Amino acid sequence: MNCQVKPLSVSAATLLGIALLGAGFSTAESSDQAKLAGDPGPGPYVQGCVDCHAKDGAENIGALLAAMKHRNVDKQTETVPGDCVECHSEDGGLILLSEFSHMVHFNNPAENDFIGSYGGNCLHCHQLDAETGIITVKSGPRNW
């Protein structure tokens, strides 16, 4: 795949906010927050991105990519975000998918729908194996 680097500006405040949220500090209360330690199962969004960003909504992944003027990756993408890391990784040369995803999901907490409506719950995107402690990113088939 041809990965082209595009510059992205990330403010120190955004990175600090992501770090604080990742450390367990939250600006929103949610019943899901209590489940992080005791209920690491797949939760309501078994396929992560593709379940939350459904095909029919304005927030579907294809529409979000188009709004960002992302190049067309329809032919190269079968799973999301599984295939995205081919370019959005250290080897791919683009902004790390983990950095970008955390930035957009935790930026501007007071106005962010992921925090306000979904409690900023890590387990919507990640799955925790309670036996091994390994955290993985949920993935599903491309839905656009």
Yes or no: say if 113 and 19 are a contact pair by the CB < 8 Å rule: no
Q: In this predicted structure, what is the pLDDT of residue 86?
A: 93
Q: What's the pLDDT band for 8 if we cut at 50, 70, 90?
A: very low
Question: Model-level pTM?
Answer: 0.69
pLDDT (tens digit per residue) in 37-50: 445 666 778 898 99
**Angle (nearest 5°) at CA 144 between 99 and 105:** 25
8-17, 40-49, 109-118 — which is least confidently predicted?
8-17
**Residue ranges covered by each domain of the chain:** 12-141
Peptide bond into 42 cis (omega under 30): no
Which has the minimum average pLDDT: 4-18, 37-51, 89-103? Answer: 4-18
pLDDT in tens, 55-92: 776 688 998 999 999 999 999 999 999 999 999 999 99
Q: Are 100 and 94 in contact (CB under 8 A)?
A: no
Q: Which ranges of the chain does DSSP label H, i.e. alpha helix?
A: 12-22, 35-38, 49-52, 61-67, 97-106, 113-118
